[in-house]
Structure 1
Amino acid sequence: MNDINDSGELFTIRNQFYTGQHQKVTAYNLDQFSAEAQPKVMEFQIRSHVALSEDASQLIDEGRSLFADQGDHFDLLQAWNDLNAFGTEDSTYFDAIEEAEFETQACLTALYFIRVHKGYEQAIEVLSKYINSVYINVHELEPYLLLVQLNLINGKYAEANRVFQKFHELPYSARDDIVYHVTESWIMAIKGGFDNVNNSSCFYDEIMANDFEEDAQGKYHILSVLFALTVQLKRFPEAQDFLEQIDALNFKGDVSGDLLANKITFEYLTKGGENVLPLLKQLAQLNPEHELLADYKEKNEKFDAIVEKYQPAL
């Protein structure tokens, strides 16, 4: 599924998949694409159904019938679908993979280790092995995207930048790709500075110019990123507008609590934290292990220790 150069025929559907426009991805007819491109299109469609919390079993069976020589890929996609559709706690398929042999296998295996086992180091190892293996080709960029993301999540900024720099070893045709541009926007935002953050914000503004009305999940994600970036730029009225748009979506998929964490930060920045306690309670219920809660607890404990230290003896 990875041999075709995605920069041509698959340019639009690839952009839509990696920017969360999953309803648009699932709406395509295979006949709109060449025989060479159809297996990759079907992969995007299956993964989009899974991202939308829809069972893709029927589409996977259709794929097995249409592309009999792609059995390994559909075994992978079936395992991924089952994990999401039936709430499986673990997977013998993913647990058995010692070294990924194709791009999607590397990516979904890494995501499995994160989702099921919180195994960030295992995920990083799988992806790192793959990008240094004989299997990868220059147009397989998703492993780089995930590696940068995982390193940023774990605060390994230098390592994230090192992985990103590997893009510059690839031909321009590979770098002229939505995956490259998304990854670049993350790196710029982390580096900070007005120009870097502003360029990242402009990139997401361009993505937001697409019609997301049928893709609430994707719209929620892009608006959340724009909210965080405008807060970073201290454009508080604009950030408030994004926040109101997010709330209007009434989207229930913030399972990590990151939006609530951003709201809490915004409350502190704009109102001195006067309405922060209800938000902290919501975040504690949603994700009691969120990093912001840990930081908040640590600061309170330090403050209590200082008060106790200097409290006059009775």
Structure 2
Amino acid sequence: MDAFSDSGELYTIRYQFYTNQHNKVKSYSLEEFSEENQLKVLEFQIRSTIALNQDASQLIEQGKSRFPDNEDFFQLLQAWNDLHDFGTDDSTHFEDLKQAHFELQAILTSLYLVKFAKDIDQSINFLTGYIDKLNNLQKYNEIEVFLILIQLYFIKGNFKQATAIFKVLNSFPDFSRDNIIYQIIESWYISIQNGTDNVNNSYSLYDEILSNGYSDDDVQGKVHNLTVLLVLTLQLKHYPEAQEVLDQITTLTTEKSADLIANQITLDRLVNHGQGTKELLTELKKVDAGHDLIKDEESKNAIFDAIVAKYQTV
């Protein structure tokens, strides 16, 4: 039986990991799982710990002792942990990787190239090179690499390639697509197609995720998914509901991500005629001066200034 199937023992923990319920993921004991699945559980737990901005070194050391034949695997996770702890990887682990030899290596290196090296194109090339070497069965079982790749194409605005990847995924057998990873990919894809039905379908997925027993400890994950709901609600032009979602977020946390502030600016312009936009833009610059919305604003201002200069009388 497939451990990730809806009757398999990894189904729930995978769902929780990819829906950002990281404290729940951490709460399991390895002894709750069969020996053959314990390494995957530990991977989820280590990655969840790092996602929560916590040091995973102790878990990694325990893993090295428990699974001594997986040295490369734990070296990779230690390098990923060090990046988040210290902001740099003294071992140059990721810079030295020219190609991935296993799934997690492809995933974390591609994320490194985006987050730390700021090179989306190289990340796409790295992932594509890895995927091209997989046989069909490996592709069916390593769907997270497609999750990252299609997201990168969305970020680049390359919807043609994103569509091509989505079509490839749709050709996979049912067992490969019957999971939360595919559902997330599908929700992204259909939401960019616009249309009320498409956006409503995406909204329903995240609404279901949030209704599916989020613990009070998983505030970070809840805020993340509420932020997605905020975007979808704005797409639907349901502005009062968007304000309600925003109010929910502000009751959960005082820390606002750049994307949340950007969407707050959008809502402010739509509902309040931009009365609070100047202050929000200042806040956004403090959080992420290189955010796309800041770049768009600067570009618009430059165009406006050029037009004014062109027609200015001396």
TM-score of the alignment, normalized to the shorter chain, above 0.5: yes
2:158: which partner in 1? 156
1:302: which partner in 2? 303
The CA distance in 1 between the partners of 2:271 and 2:91, in whole Å, is 45
2:278: which partner in 1? 277
Structure 1 position 310, deviation (Å): 3.9
Structure 1 position 64, deviation (Å): 1.1
Structure 1 position 121, deviation (Å): 1.1
The CA distance in 2 between the partners of 1:47 and 1:301, in whole Å, is 42
Structure 1 position 137, deviation (Å): 4.1
1:60: which partner in 2? 60
Query: Is structure 2 residue 218 aligned with structure 1 residue 215?
Result: yes
Distance 1:296-1:134 versus aligned 2 partners, 3 A rule? closer
Aligned structure 1 segments of 4 or more residues deviating by more than 4 angstroms? none
Structure 1 position 34, deviation (Å): 0.5
1:265: which partner in 2? 266
2:169: which partner in 1? 167
2:105: which partner in 1? 105
Length, aligned pairs only: 309
Structure 1 position 251, deviation (Å): 4.4
- SS where residue 237 of structure 2 aligns? coil
The CA distance in 1 between the partners of 2:37 and 2:150, in whole Å, is 27
2:179: which partner in 1? 177
| Aligned-pair identity (%) | 48
The CA distance in 1 between the partners of 2:272 and 2:236, in whole Å, is 17
The CA distance in 2 between the partners of 1:119 and 1:260, in whole Å, is 24
Structure 1 position 25, deviation (Å): 0.2
Structure 1 position 198, deviation (Å): 0.7
The CA distance in 1 between the partners of 2:71 and 2:303, in whole Å, is 57
2:80: which partner in 1? 80
1:248: which partner in 2? 251
2:149: which partner in 1? 147
1:293: which partner in 2? 294
Query: Is structure 2 residue 30 aligned with structure 1 residue 30?
Result: yes
Stretch of structure 1 that moved more, 181-190 or 72-81: 72-81
- SS where residue 255 of structure 2 aligns? coil
Stretch of structure 1 that moved more, 217-226 or 92-101: 92-101
Q: Deviations over 1:229-267 (max 9, x none)?
A: 00110011110000001111224262xx11111111111
1:228: which partner in 2? 231
Structure 1 position 58, deviation (Å): 1.0
TM-score w.r.t. the length of structure 1 is 0.94
The CA distance in 2 between the partners of 1:185 and 1:53, in whole Å, is 27
Structure 1 position 176, deviation (Å): 0.2
The CA distance in 2 between the partners of 1:90 and 1:240, in whole Å, is 44
The CA distance in 1 between the partners of 2:133 and 2:90, in whole Å, is 26
- SS where residue 20 of structure 2 aligns? coil
- SS where residue 191 of structure 2 aligns? helix
Distance 1:299-1:253 versus aligned 2 partners, 3 A rule? closer
- SS where residue 16 of structure 1 aligns? helix
Structure 1 position 138, deviation (Å): 1.5
Structure 1 position 90, deviation (Å): 5.9
The CA distance in 2 between the partners of 1:129 and 1:21, in whole Å, is 31
Structure 1 position 141, deviation (Å): 0.7
The CA distance in 1 between the partners of 2:123 and 2:188, in whole Å, is 19
Kept in 2, the 8 Å contact 1:5–1:139? The answer is: no
2:47: which partner in 1? 47
Kept in 1, the 8 Å contact 2:82–2:89? The answer is: no
TM-score w.r.t. the length of structure 2 is 0.94
Kept in 1, the 8 Å contact 2:79–2:89? The answer is: no
Structure 1 position 9, deviation (Å): 1.7
Residue 98 of structure 1 aligns to which amino acid in structure 2? Answer: K
The CA distance in 2 between the partners of 1:85 and 1:294, in whole Å, is 29
Kept in 2, the 8 Å contact 1:82–1:88? The answer is: yes
Structure 1 unaligned blocks of 5 or more: none
Query: Is structure 2 residue 208 aligned with structure 1 residue 206?
Result: yes
Kept in 2, the 8 Å contact 1:89–1:116? The answer is: no
Query: Is structure 2 residue 239 aligned with structure 1 residue 239?
Result: no
The CA distance in 2 between the partners of 1:225 and 1:182, in whole Å, is 11
Structure 2 unaligned blocks of 5 or more: none
Structure 1 position 169, deviation (Å): 2.5
